[in-house]
């Protein structure tokens, strides 16, 4: 009976207060801040690196050499050899590849159709270096699969160039 008295006499604990749920605006602003941080810390440096690399190739004259060397490969897709620079730039950042295609169109190196062909390839293989480092290496994926993981992206880009060439030729765009 003594134990029953102690139980009955024990003060009741107050119910824990419910945590205040953040408002939709707070959640939205927090997401915006995270997105801005990712853009500034990850995307922008890769984009600038890709774009600067293409600029260096152009200014040093290596772009002409690259265009000559890559002409047979890019010719399979109906593109000039210099279009390879778009893919190099996209390797670092999708946006950089797209910007390179746009600037090559503006400079007259690519036609509108050729620049349009390059955009899906940039998206499909774009930022390959960054994704490879952030995902494949960090997760510790089996090393025997690394070439395949990169190869699939490159194959997707090549297939997109073929598909875009067919679509644009059906539309009469050169």
Q: Assign 55 a pLDDT band (cuts: 50, 70, 90).
A: confident
Range of the domain at 69: 31-171
| Structure-derived torsion over alpha carbons of residues 68, 69, 71, 73, reported in degrees to the nearest 10 | 180
Number of folded domains that form the chain: 1
In a domain, 82, yes or no: yes
What six digits make up the tokens of 106? 């503006």
What six digits make up the tokens of 156? 């997707």
* For residue 44, pLDDT beyond 80: no
How confident is the model at residue 58, as a pLDDT? 79
What separation in angstroms does the CA of 84 have from each of 8, 71, 72, 81, 155? 82, 9, 11, 6, 15
How confident is the model at residue 77, as a pLDDT? 93
Q: What DSSP character marks residue 126?
A: T
In a domain, 17, yes or no: no
Q: Which residue has the tokens 């297939």?
A: 159
Write the secondary structure of 117-130 as one string of H (helix), E (strand) and C (coil): HHHHHHHHHCCHHH
Ramachandran quadrant class, 16 (left: phi over 0; alpha: psi -120 to 50; beta: rest):
beta
**Model confidence over 83-133: pLDDT tens digits?**
999 998 888 888 888 888 998 999 899 999 999 999 999 999 877 777 777
**Model confidence over 73-84: pLDDT tens digits?**
999 999 999 999
In a domain, 11, yes or no: no
In a domain, 23, yes or no: no
In a domain, 134, yes or no: yes
Q: Assign 20 a pLDDT band (cuts: 50, 70, 90).
A: confident
In a domain, 21, yes or no: no
In a domain, 18, yes or no: no
In a domain, 46, yes or no: yes
């Amino acid at each position: 009976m003594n134990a029953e008295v102690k139980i009955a006499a024990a003060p009741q604990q107050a119910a824990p207060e419910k945590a205040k749920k953040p408002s939709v605006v707070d959640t939205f602003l927090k997401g915006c801040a995270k997105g801005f941080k990712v853009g500034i810390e990850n995307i922008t440096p890769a984009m600038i690196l890709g774009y600067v690399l293409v600029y260096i190739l152009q200014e040093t004259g290596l772009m002409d050499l690259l265009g000559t060397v890559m002409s047979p490969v890019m010719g399979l897709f109906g593109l000039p050899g210099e279009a390879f620079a778009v893919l190099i730039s996209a390797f670092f950042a999708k946006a950089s590849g797209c910007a390179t295609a746009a600037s090559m169109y503006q400079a007259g190196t690519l036609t509108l159709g050729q620049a349009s062909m390059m955009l899906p390839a940039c998206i499909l293989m774009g930022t390959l270096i960054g994704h490879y480092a952030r995902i494949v290496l960090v997760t510790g994926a089996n090393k025997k699969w690394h070439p395949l993981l990169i190869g699939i992206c490159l194959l997707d880009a090549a297939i997109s160039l073929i598909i875009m060439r067919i679509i644009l030729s059906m539309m009469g765009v050169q």
